[in-house]
């Protein structure tokens, strides 16, 4: 980046930080995009005159609300709910709902901002949004989860709709929670309509939606490797997380001949040097989805596996890494370790899993293929978009049809990254490619609408 671009970036970021005090995650996400977009638009005056990037970094609106519910002991509990409607230039707001104690406005604004670019990359007509609550589902009974979801939707329903804003799941929100929220929406508005995605198959869900984010992260890795005449087969893979994204990422990797040696949760990671099998993965899914247990139990169940409390897996030697837990889970030290150990590719199942310094270390290495979350985990929202299409058509497509769409959408995202991110020496900067391609479509729509 030349000095003039660096100055422009600095003054843009100073204004972002001044307008959004105490929101470090949001500033980090905007910075990651602005690093590529500020130089890109430097010789395109229309984007600057119309303040397109400035407008993209300002949410259309943010709704915050009180969520009151009663626990099993008859006590009244108070949580805070949010919906960030970031940008609907190319379609209804679309993005997940997160239930986790760390949820705050900064985290949801970063996720909503990322979502705008991700949804644009899919090629489907979806704007960007994100929502959630600082509710901790851990240790709650089934009935408590149900009451919380109903209380949350009792306020949220006023702000969403199949042509307005279509939420889905994220951390702490899976099929069970989507079911409770959809049921409450339907009860209040007295209409059966596709207002949420990630629904069960019986009431309008799409095949492959649960699998889509994890599968998509693997398809993205496959695209990057095959672009460089390599493949997944026989490669040792590190995964973090043991939730929706991580488990289906592991399933697809095992199916394609990858050797998955780690998984994790917020208590630490397990290392199984022999590699997970489909049977072992099934055991993890049962542990997490039904018994709601901790990953450390894996090391007691399977000989040869070890548990590493309060640690992340990135020090284990690998060929490929799939961070699938949460934001900022790869630090600069972790990145150095990955590079030193010869890691060839990173596909981000999670949103913004690497810190800014970590990205710099990885990009500096030049030989690591690194797909950002907005490209690598777009499979989830892509199949959500397909679920919306199926709901509108009142049809349900087969597994093979949805999987074929998913693969071709991810291939399209990879091609856009290559188109906008390839340097003169042939090196592909997937971050740059994804940022510019995602920006272009939204910017064109915003310009068409005039100043608003
Ligand atoms: P889940 O709630 O199903 O699983 C999250 C996993 O990450 C759990 O194993 C959880 O462990 C672990 N985790 C969460 N927070 C932390 C933390 N602070 N430190 C260490 N581990 C943590 O969520 P998903 O799998 O749906 O989401 C994972 C990531 O993928 C998120 O970044 C999400 O935004 C992103 N994503 C998800 C999509 C989807 O379709 N679901 C779509 C696109 C992106 P524990 O159980 O101990 O909390």
Instruction: Say which CATH number the domain at 357 has.
Output: 3.40.50.720
- Do residues 264 and 337 both lie within one domain? yes
Name 108's Cβ contacts closer than 8 Å, sequence gap at least 6: 82, 84, 98, 130, 131, 132
- Do residues 188 and 214 both lie within one domain? no
The answer on pLDDT for 11 being more than 90 is yes
Instruction: Return the best residue to mutate from 113, 115, 170 for the ligand 1 pocket (most ligand atoms within 8 A of CB).
Output: 170
The per-residue pLDDT for 1 is: 87
Instruction: Return the best residue to mutate from 25, 266, 293, 374 for the ligand 1 pocket (most ligand atoms within 8 A of CB).
Output: 266
In sequence order, what DSSP letters do the residues of 336-373 get, joined into one string?
Answer: HHHHHTT--EEE--SSS-B-HHHHHHHHHHSS-EEE-H
CA of 408 to the centre of ligand 1 (A): 25
Residue 394 in any domain: the answer is no
Query: Is residue 266 lining ligand 1, measured as CB closer than 6 Å?
Result: yes
**Atom 21, ligand 1: residue with shortest CA distance:** 266
Residue 22 in any domain: the answer is no
Residue 185 in any domain: the answer is yes
- Do residues 109 and 234 both lie within one domain? no
Which pair of structure tokens corresponds to residue 230?
């390599």
Residue 267 in any domain: the answer is yes
The 10 Å Cβ neighbour count of residue 255 is 12
- Do residues 156 and 249 both lie within one domain? no
Instruction: Say which CATH number the domain at 177 has.
Output: 3.40.50.10860
The per-residue pLDDT for 192 is: 97
Domain with 233 in it: 210-367
The domain total for the chain is 2
**Atom 3, ligand 1: residue with shortest CA distance:** 243
Query: How much is the mean pLDDT over the chain?
Result: 98
**Atom 2, ligand 1: residue with shortest CA distance:** 171
Query: Is residue 428 lining ligand 1, measured as CB closer than 6 Å?
Result: no
Is 130 annotated as catalytic? yes
The per-residue pLDDT for 412 is: 98
- Do residues 244 and 351 both lie within one domain? yes
pLDDT digits (tens, 9 = 90+) for 369-428: 999 999 999 999 999 999 999 999 999 999 999 999 999 999 999 999 999 999 999 999
Name the domain boundary from 192, 218, 236: 192
- Rounded alpha-carbon distances, angstroms, from residue 149 to 78, 172, 180, 292: 13, 11, 6, 18
Backbone torsions φ then ψ of 395, nearest 5 degrees: -135, 160
- Rounded alpha-carbon distances, angstroms, from residue 21 to 16, 30, 280: 8, 14, 45
pLDDT digits (tens, 9 = 90+) for 201-231: 999 999 999 999 999 999 999 999 999 999 9
The answer on pLDDT for 114 being more than 90 is yes
CA of 21 to the centre of ligand 1 (A): 26
Query: Is residue 384 lining ligand 1, measured as CB closer than 6 Å?
Result: no
CA of 50 to the centre of ligand 1 (A): 37
CA of 47 to the centre of ligand 1 (A): 35
- Do residues 225 and 362 both lie within one domain? yes
**Pick the catalytic residue: 94, 118, 130, 252?**
130
**Atom 13, ligand 1: residue with shortest CA distance:** 325
pLDDT band, very low/low/confident/very high, at 19 (cuts 50, 70, 90):
very high
Q: Quick one: CA dihedral 219, 223, 229, 230, positive or negative?
A: negative
Query: Is residue 213 lining ligand 1, measured as CB closer than 6 Å?
Result: yes
Query: Is residue 352 lining ligand 1, measured as CB closer than 6 Å?
Result: no
In sequence order, what DSSP letters do the residues of 243-287 get, joined into one string?
Answer: SHHHHHHHHHHHHTT-EEEEEEETTEEEE-TT---HHHHHHHHHH
- Rounded alpha-carbon distances, angstroms, from residue 436 to 38, 117, 440: 10, 9, 6
Name the domain boundary from 318, 346, 367: 367
The per-residue pLDDT for 216 is: 98
Residue 346 in any domain: the answer is yes
pLDDT digits (tens, 9 = 90+) for 124-147: 999 999 999 999 999 999 999 999
Name 401's Cβ contacts closer than 8 Å, sequence gap at least 6: none
- Do residues 143 and 287 both lie within one domain? no
* Rg value, the chain, Cα: 21
- Do residues 178 and 271 both lie within one domain? no
- Do residues 259 and 132 both lie within one domain? no
The per-residue pLDDT for 133 is: 99
What is d(CA 201, CA 215) in angstroms, rounded to the nearest whole number?
Answer: 19
CA of 276 to the centre of ligand 1 (A): 20
- Do residues 73 and 161 both lie within one domain? yes
Which ligand 1 atom minimizes the distance to the CA of 263?
Answer: 9
Residue 290 in any domain: the answer is yes
Residue 275 in any domain: the answer is yes
pLDDT digits (tens, 9 = 90+) for 278-296: 999 999 999 999 999 999 9
Name the domain boundary from 163, 192, 221: 192
- Do residues 168 and 134 both lie within one domain? yes
Burial class of residue 18 (count of CB atoms within 10 Å of its CB; 0-12, 13-18, 19+): exposed
**Atom 19, ligand 1: residue with shortest CA distance:** 266
What is d(CA 19, CA 285) in angstroms, rounded to the nearest whole number?
Answer: 43
- Do residues 246 and 340 both lie within one domain? yes
The per-residue pLDDT for 48 is: 95
Residue 127 in any domain: the answer is yes
- Rounded alpha-carbon distances, angstroms, from residue 348 to 97, 210, 321, 405: 19, 17, 8, 20
């Amino acid at each position: 980046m030349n000095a003039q671009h660096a100055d422009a970036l600095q003054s843009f970021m100073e204004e972002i930080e001044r307008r959004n005090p105490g929101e470090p995650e949001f500033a980090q996400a905007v910075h990651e995009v602005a690093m590529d977009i500020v130089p890109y638009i430097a010789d395109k005056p229309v984007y600057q005159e119309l303040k397109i990037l400035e407008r993209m970094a300002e949410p259309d609106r943010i709704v915050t609300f009180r969520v009151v519910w009663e626990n099993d002991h008859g006590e009244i509990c108070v949580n805070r709910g949010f919906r960030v409607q970031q940008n609907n230039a190319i379609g209804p707001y679309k993005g997940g709902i997160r239930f986790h104690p760390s949820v705050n406005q900064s985290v949801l604004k970063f996720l909503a901002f990322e979502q705008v670019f991700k949804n644009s990359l899919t090629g489907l007509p979806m704007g960007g949004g994100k929502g959630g609550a600082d509710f901790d589902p851990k240790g709650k009974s089934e009935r408590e989860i149900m009451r919380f979801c109903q209380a949350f939707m009792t306020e949220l329903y006023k702000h969403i709709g199949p042509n307005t804003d279509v939420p889905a799941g994220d951390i702490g929100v899976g099929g069970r929670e989507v079911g409770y929220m959809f049921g409450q929406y339907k009860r209040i508005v007295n209409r059966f309509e596709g207002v949420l995605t990630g629904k069960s198959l019986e009431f309008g869900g799409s095949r492959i939606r649960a699998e889509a984010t994890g599968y998509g992260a693997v398809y993205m890795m496959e695209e990057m490797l095959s672009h460089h005449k390599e493949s997944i087969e026989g490669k040792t893979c590190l995964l973090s997380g043991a939730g929706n994204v991580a488990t289906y990422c592991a399933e697809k990797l095992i199916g394609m001949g990858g050797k998955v040696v780690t998984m994790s949760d917020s208590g630490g990671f397990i290392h199984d040097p022999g590699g997970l099998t489909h049977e072992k993965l099934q055991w993890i899914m049962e542990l997490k989805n039904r018994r709601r247990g901790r990953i450390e139990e894996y090391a007691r169940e399977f000989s040869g596996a070890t548990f590493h409390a309060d640690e992340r897996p990135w020090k284990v030697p690998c060929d490929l890494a799939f961070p699938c837990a949460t934001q900022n889970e790869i630090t600069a030290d972790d990145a150095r370790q990955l590079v030193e150990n010869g890691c060839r590719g990173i596909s981000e199942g999670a949103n913004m899993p690497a810190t800014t310094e970590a990205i710099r270390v990885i990009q500096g290495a030049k030989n690591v293929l690194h797909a950002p979350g907005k490209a690598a985990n777009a499979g989830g929202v892509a199949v959500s978009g397909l679920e919306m299409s199926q709901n509108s058509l009142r049809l349900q497509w087969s597994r093979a049809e949805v999987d074929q769409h998913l693969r071709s959408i991810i291939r399209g995202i990879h091609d856009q990254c290559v188109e906008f991110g390839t340097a003169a020496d042939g090196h592909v900067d997937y971050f740059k490619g994804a940022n510019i391609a995602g920006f272009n479509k939204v910017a064109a729509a915003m310009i068409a609408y005039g100043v608003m």
